[in-house]
C-alpha cells in the first residue's frame, strides 16, 4: 500500500537537530546491535501494536475515531527495487508536537541510564532496547534513512506529518496530506542488508518475535518470485489472538516464552509463569511471568520507575503500567490482567478506588508468591538465580505487605555460619529444623559485607556453643529485619543486641569475671570518658579483645553510617564497649603504669571494635598516629 504526500503551507517545513541524548542513543544503537539486527522489526511492530491499542481505548468514548480504516491492523511490505521495508499501522497516529516529543527527543528520565548501561555492557544490547522506550531507533541498525508518515486519529487529512532522518544528528519535519490515519515507517536499507528484502525472512521474524501480537499483522501474499506491486493480496501472518484468552492445553511452552519476549522486550526466557482464569461474581484472567534477569530500569531506576502489568478489560487495552495490580515489591513481575467486570472508562483514579480491583490485586499477589514457592521446590537452580536477581526487591515486601510477611520470609534465603561462603544459603525453615536443644530464637548478624558478617567478633560465643547464626550483608537487611520480629513463632535476635541468654552456671561465671575485672573496667571508663556509654565484661567474646554491644532497638553502626552518607538524620549515641579481660591486650592495659600509653591502648581497643562493627572512625589520622606510637615504643 502506498501513501501519497503533498506539502501544505502551514506549518512550514523545517530541519531540526536531535537532542544530545537522542544522538547518543542513535550512535550506540547503530554501533552496538550488529549481532541482533533483526530486533528492529520486533520493536517497530510492538510500537505499532501499542498505537492500535491506544486508538481502541480512545475510541471507547469517541467511536468516530475508528471511521475510515475500520479494522485495526499492522502491515509489513518490502520493495526489492527501492530497497525499502515498510511497516504501517492503523493506530492512533501522531500530530506534529507528538512527533517532535516522541522521536526528536526522549523525555524518559531513564534514558541516561540506558546510555550508561549500553555503553558499559554492549553484550547486553538486545535486552536493553525497548526497555527504555527507545525501540524506534533500532530502525537505524539496518537503515541509512528512515521516513515516518503519520496522522493522528480525529484530525483532517492536511494535518499529516512527514518526518525523515539519516540518523546523523538532524531530521526534517514537514506537513503532509495523508489519506489515512495511523503511522507508516519506511526503512531505506543500508547496503549489505539484503536479507530483509526477502518476504520469507520477514515472515519468519514476525513468527519468531510477534506471533502473539493481538492485532493482525498482514503481508502481501508470496507469488513465487516477488509480491505483486500494484494491488497486492494481503494475508495475516501472525496468530493475531490474545494468547491469554486461549485454553492452557492449547498453548505450548514455546508459545508462552514467545509471548513473554514480545511483552517484556526481553531476549531471555522467563524463569517461570502462571496462567489462570477466575470465574464467579467477578471474572478475570491473569498471565504472570517471573523474569530470569532483572530489567535495567529495576536495577538503575529502582523504586521510582516501576512498570506494572498490562491491564485489559474484555480484551480492550486500558493501561500499559497498571501499578495498582501488584504491590511495589513485586514490580519485577511482567504480565497481563484481563478483567470482565471493570468499567471500560476506567482511569487511574478509579483504579485506585475500585474495590473489584482489590480482589484482582490479592489474586495476583497470591499467584506470584505461589509461583515463586513452586520454583523454590521444583527448580532450585532457577530459584537461586531468581533470588540473586530479585531477592532484595522481594525483601521489601517484609515491610510493605504485613499480611503476607510470613509467606515472603519463607521464600528468602540467607548465608549462615554453617555454610561455606555467601553462595551457600539457608531458609528460615531449615534453620529452625536444626536449632540446638533449648534454643528459642533465630540469631542473626548484619554487616556491610559477607566477610564482615562472618568475621564479626560477636559470633565467637555462638560458635563455641554450636549455635547457627544467619549472616545478613545486603543493605536492605537491617531495615527489613527490623520489621520481621518473629517467624514461625520464633523471635529473631541480633547477636550484638541486648543481653546474651545464659544458663545459671554461665551467669555465675559472668558475675565472677566482672567482679575480678572491676578495677580494669573502672580504668577503661576513665580512659574513654566521653567516648563510651558503658564498659562491661562480654559473654560474647572468646578470642577477640573487644566488641560493641547494641541496645535492643539501637541501629547497627554500618546502617547508621550509610544513612548519614545519604544525608539522613541519625540520632547520636555513645556506644557500649564489651571487653574480654582474658585477652593479652586487656591484660597489658591493666598492667601498664604509663597513663598516656594506656590511653592509646584503650582508644585503639574502642576503635578496632568500631571498625569491626562497620562504624566510621572520628579521626583516622589520630588512629594512625596512635598505632605508630605503639609500634615505635
Which of 241, 275, 307 represents a domain boundary (last residue)?
Answer: 241
Regions of the chain where pLDDT drops below 50: 1-10, 107-115, 118, 121-133, 227, 297, 299-306, 348-349
Residue 166 corresponds to which cell in the numbers above?
539519516
Q: Are 540 and 495 in contact (CB under 8 A)?
A: yes
449 annotated to bind ligand: no
pLDDT at res. 407:
96
Q: Are 610 and 557 in contact (CB under 8 A)?
A: yes
* CA 386 – CA 291 distance, rounded (Å): 8
Q: Are 337 and 285 in contact (CB under 8 A)?
A: yes
Tell me: do 125 and 228 sit in the same domain: yes
Q: What angle do CA 591, 594, 598 make, to 5 degrees?
A: 70
pLDDT over 70 percentage in the chain: 84
23 within some domain? yes
Helices 20-32, 111-120: crossing angle, 10 deg rounding: 30
Q: What is the largest CA-CA distance in the chain?
A: 106
pLDDT at res. 431:
96
Q: Residue 310 maps to which CATH number?
A: 3.30.230.80
39 within some domain? yes
* CA 378 – CA 380 distance, rounded (Å): 6
Q: Please name the residue that has the C-alpha cell 515498510.
A: 86
Tell me: do 163 and 43 sit in the same domain: yes
43 annotated to bind ligand: yes
| Contacts of residue 57, Cβ cutoff 8 Å, sequence gap at least 6 | 316, 317, 318
Q: What angle do CA 166, 167, 169 make, to 5 degrees?
A: 110
Q: Residue 535 maps to which CATH number?
A: 1.20.120.790
pLDDT at res. 91:
93
Distance of CA 503 to the CA centre of its chain: 47
User: How does pLDDT run across 586-617, given as a tens digit for each residue?
Assistant: 999 999 988 899 999 999 999 999 999 888 88
Tell me: do 508 and 427 sit in the same domain: no
**What is the length of the chain?**
633
- For residue 404, give Cα distances in angstroms to 102, 152, 303, 366, 399: 41, 46, 20, 9, 10
Domain span including residue 453 = 413-494
Q: Please name the residue that has the C-alpha cell 540446638.
A: 436
CA atoms within 13 A on the CB side of 177: 6
pLDDT at res. 370:
97
| Contacts of residue 393, Cβ cutoff 8 Å, sequence gap at least 6 | 298, 329, 330, 331, 332
Q: Are 244 and 76 in contact (CB under 8 A)?
A: no
385 within some domain? no
Rg of the chain over all Cα atoms, to the nearest angstrom: 32
109 annotated to bind ligand: yes
4 within some domain? no
Torsion from C-alpha of 563, 569, 574, 575, nearest 10 degrees: -20
pLDDT at res. 501:
80
Q: Residue 486 maps to which CATH number?
A: 3.40.50.11260
25 annotated to bind ligand: no
3-class SS of residue 396: helix
Residue 32 corresponds to which cell in the numbers above?
552496538
3-state secondary structure 423-475: CCEECHHHHHHCCCCCCCCEEEEECCCHHHHHCCHHHHHHHHHCCCCEEECCC
394 within some domain? no
Which of 474, 494, 514 represents a domain boundary (last residue)?
Answer: 494
579 within some domain? yes
pLDDT at res. 209:
79
What phi and psi values does residue 358 have, to the nearest 5 degrees?
A: -60, -40
Tell me: do 421 and 342 sit in the same domain: no
Tell me: do 276 and 341 sit in the same domain: yes
DSSP assigned state of 49: H
Tell me: do 610 and 480 sit in the same domain: no
Report which of 405, 558, 387 is spatially closest to residue 473, judged by C-alpha positions: 558
> What's the distance, Cα to Cα, between the start and end of the chain in Å?
92
89 annotated to bind ligand: yes
- For residue 6, give Cα distances in angstroms to 13, 155, 159, 161, 320: 12, 16, 11, 10, 35
* CA 482 – CA 484 distance, rounded (Å): 6
Q: Residue 124 maps to which CATH number?
A: 3.30.565.10
Q: Are 45 and 210 in contact (CB under 8 A)?
A: yes
- For residue 94, give Cα distances in angstroms to 51, 149, 325: 9, 9, 29
* CA 106 – CA 188 distance, rounded (Å): 23
232 within some domain? yes
348 annotated to bind ligand: yes
* CA 435 – CA 423 distance, rounded (Å): 21
Q: Write down the pTM of the prediction.
A: 0.72
Domain count, the chain: 4
628 annotated to bind ligand: no
Residue 508 corresponds to which cell in the numbers above?
555465675
* CA 202 – CA 46 distance, rounded (Å): 15
* CA 206 – CA 503 distance, rounded (Å): 71
110 annotated to bind ligand: yes
Tell me: do 184 and 44 sit in the same domain: yes
DSSP assigned state of 298: I
Q: Are 199 and 227 in contact (CB under 8 A)?
A: yes
**Residues facing 225 on adjacent strands:** none
Tell me: do 298 and 323 sit in the same domain: yes
Residue 525 corresponds to which cell in the numbers above?
571508663
Q: Are 310 and 318 in contact (CB under 8 A)?
A: no
Tell me: do 438 and 519 sit in the same domain: no
Q: Are 114 and 297 in contact (CB under 8 A)?
A: no
Whole-number average pLDDT of the chain? 84
Report which of 625, 233, 242, 615 is spatially closest to residue 447, judged by C-alpha positions: 615
Report which of 552, 553, 557 is spatially closest to residue 575, judged by C-alpha positions: 557
DSSP assigned state of 575: P
420 annotated to bind ligand: no
136 annotated to bind ligand: yes
- H-helix or E-strand containing 277? strand 272-278
Tell me: do 294 and 348 sit in the same domain: yes
Torsion from C-alpha of 600, 602, 606, 609, nearest 10 degrees: 100
User: How does pLDDT run across 47-73, given as a tens digit for each residue?
Assistant: 898 899 889 888 888 888 887 667 899
- H-helix or E-strand containing 415? strand 414-416
Tell me: do 21 and 113 sit in the same domain: yes
Residue 330 corresponds to which cell in the numbers above?
513485586
DSSP assigned state of 615: P
- H-helix or E-strand containing 79? strand 74-79
18 annotated to bind ligand: no
Report which of 323, 471, 324, 481 is spatially closest to residue 396, judged by C-alpha positions: 481
113 within some domain? yes
Tell me: do 281 and 335 sit in the same domain: yes
3-state secondary structure 299-355: HHHHHHHCCCEEEEECCEEEEEEEHHHCCHHHCCCEEEEEECCCCCCCCHHHHHHCH
Report which of 237, 179, 233 is spatially closest to residue 3, judged by C-alpha positions: 179
Which of 494, 515, 538 represents a domain boundary (last residue)?
Answer: 494
Amino acid at each position: 500500500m502506498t501513501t501519497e504526500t503533498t506539502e501544505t503551507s502551514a506549518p512550514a517545513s523545517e530541519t531540526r537537530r536531535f537532542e544530545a541524548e537522542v544522538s547518543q542513543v542513535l550512535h550506540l544503537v547503530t554501533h552496538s546491535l550488529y549481532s541482533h539486527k533483526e530486533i528492529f522489526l520486533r520493536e517497530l511492530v510492538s510500537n505499532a501494536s501499542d498505537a492500535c491499542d491506544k486508538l481502541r481505548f480512545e475510541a471507547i468514548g469517541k467511536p468516530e475515531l475508528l471511521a475510515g480504516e475500520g479494522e485495526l491492523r499492522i502491515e509489513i511490505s518490502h520493495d526489492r527495487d527501492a530497497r525499502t521495508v515498510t511497516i504501517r499501522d492503523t493506530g492512533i497516529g501522531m500530530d506534529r508536537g507528538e512527533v517532535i516529543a516522541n522521536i526528536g527527543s526522549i523525555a524518559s528520565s531513564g534514558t541516561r541510564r540506558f546510555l550508561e548501561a549500553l555503553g558499559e555492557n554492549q553484550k547486553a544490547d538486545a535486552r536493553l532496547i525497548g526497555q527504555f522506550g527507545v525501540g524506534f531507533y533500532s530502525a537505524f541498525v539496518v537503515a541509512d534513512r528512515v521516513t515516518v508518515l503519520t496522522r493522528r486519529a480525529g484530525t483532517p487529512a492536511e494535518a499529516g506529518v512527514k518526518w525523515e532522518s539519516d540518523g546523523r544528528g538532524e531530521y526534517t519535519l514537514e506537513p503532509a496530506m495523508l489519506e489515512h490515519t495511523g503511522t507508516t515507517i519506511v526503512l531505506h536499507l543500508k547496503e549489505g542488508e539484503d536479507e530483509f528484502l526477502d518476504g520469507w525472512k520477514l515472515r519468519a521474524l514476525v513468527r519468531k518475535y510477534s506471533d502473539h501480537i493481538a492485532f493482525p499483522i498482514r503481508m502481501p501474499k508470496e507469488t513465487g518470485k516477488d509480491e505483486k506491486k500494484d494491488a497486492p493480496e494481503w494475508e495475516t501472518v501472525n496468530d493475531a489472538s490474545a494468547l491469554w484468552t486461549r485454553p492452557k492445553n492449547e498453548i505450548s511452552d514455546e508459545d508462552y516464552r514467545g509471548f513473554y519476549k514480545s511483552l517484556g522486550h526481553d531476549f531471555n526466557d522467563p524463569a517461570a509463569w502462571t496462567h489462570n482464569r477466575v470465574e464467579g461474581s467477578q471474572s478475570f484472567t491473569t498471565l504472570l511471568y517471573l523474569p530470569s534477569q532483572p530489567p535495567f530500569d529495576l536495577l538503575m531506576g529502582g523504586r521510582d520507575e516501576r512498570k506494572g502489568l498490562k491491564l485489559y478489560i474484555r480484551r480492550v487495552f486500558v493501561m500499559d503500567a497498571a501499578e495498582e495490580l501488584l504491590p511495589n515489591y513485586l514490580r519485577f513481575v511482567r504480565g497481563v490482567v484481563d478483567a470482565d467486570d471493570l468499567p471500560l472508562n476506567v482511569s487511574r483514579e478509579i483504579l485506585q478506588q475500585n474495590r473489584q480491583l482489590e480482589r484482582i490485586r490479592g489474586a495476583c499477589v497470591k499467584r506470584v508468591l505461589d509461583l515463586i514457592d513452586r520454583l523454590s521446590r521444583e527448580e532450585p537452580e532457577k530459584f537461586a538465580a531468581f533470588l540473586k536477581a530479585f531477592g532484595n526487591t522481594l525483601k521489601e515486601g517484609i515491610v510493605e505487605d504485613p499480611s503476607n510477611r510470613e509467606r515472603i520470609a519463607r521464600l528468602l534465603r540467607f548465608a549462615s555460619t554453617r555454610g561455606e561462603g555467601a553462595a551457600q544459603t539457608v531458609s528460615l525453615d531449615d534453620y529452625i529444623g536444626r536449632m540446638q536443644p533449648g534454643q528459642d530464637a533465630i540469631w542473626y548478624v548484619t554487616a556491610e559485607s559477607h566477610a564482615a558478617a562472618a568475621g564479626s567478633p560477636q559470633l565467637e560465643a555462638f560458635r563455641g556453643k554450636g549455635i547457627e547464626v544467619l549472616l545478613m550483608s545486603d543493605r536492605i537487611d537491617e531495615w527489613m529485619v527490623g520489621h520481621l520480629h518473629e517467624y514461625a513463632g520464633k523471635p529473631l535476635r541480633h547477636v550484638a543486641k541486648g543481653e546474651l541468654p545464659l544458663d545459671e552456671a554461665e551467669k555465675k561465671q559472668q558475675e565472677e569475671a566482672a567482679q575480678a575485672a572491676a578495677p580494669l573496667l573502672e580504668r577503661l571508663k576513665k580512659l574513654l570518658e566521653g567516648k563510651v556509654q558503658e564498659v562491661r565484661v562480654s559473654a560474647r567474646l572468646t578470642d577477640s579483645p573487644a566488641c560493641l554491644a547494641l541496645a535492643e532497638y539501637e541501629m547497627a553502626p554500618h546502617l547508621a553510617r550509610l544513612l548519614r552518607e545519604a544525608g539522613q538524620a541519625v540520632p547520636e549515641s555513645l556506644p557500649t564497649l564489651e571487653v574480654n579481660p582474658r585477652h593479652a591486650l586487656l591484660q597489658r592495659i591493666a598492667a601498664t603504669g604509663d597513663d598516656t600509653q594506656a590511653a592509646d591502648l584503650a582508644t585503639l581497643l574502642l576503635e578496632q571494635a568500631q571498625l569491626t562493627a562497620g562504624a566510621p572512625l572520628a579521626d583516622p589520622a589520630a588512629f594512625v598516629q596512635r598505632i605508630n606510637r605503639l609500634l615505635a615504643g
